[in-house]
Amino acid sequence: MDDATLAALIRAAGLEETAREFPDDVREALATVARQRASLPRTSDPTLEPTPGHLAPRR
């Protein structure tokens, strides 16, 4: 990941201060997420509902 992208992601997450104090931890977190995304199942079924389900509030 190039430095500009890295900086943009850190800014979007609001972690500029944390990244200044713990740059390796923040960089590692981004690498972890990138690695994990590859193993996350992605269904092609557009109708599959998530769990927990979203329920209408009861009166």
Residues 18-57 touching another protein, rule: CB under 8 A, are 18, 21-22, 25-26, 28-30, 32-33, 36-37, 39-43, 48-52
Task: By CB under 8 A, name the one of 3, 14, 57, 58 that touches another protein.
Answer: 14
39: tokens are 């193993």
Q: What single letter denotes the amino acid at residue 22?
A: F
What is the rounded CA–CA span in Å between residue 23 and residue 43? Answer: 34
What is the rounded CA–CA span in Å between residue 29 and residue 5? Answer: 14
Binding site for another protein (CB under 8 A): 9, 13-15, 17-18, 21-22, 25-26, 28-30, 32-33, 36-37, 39-43, 48-52
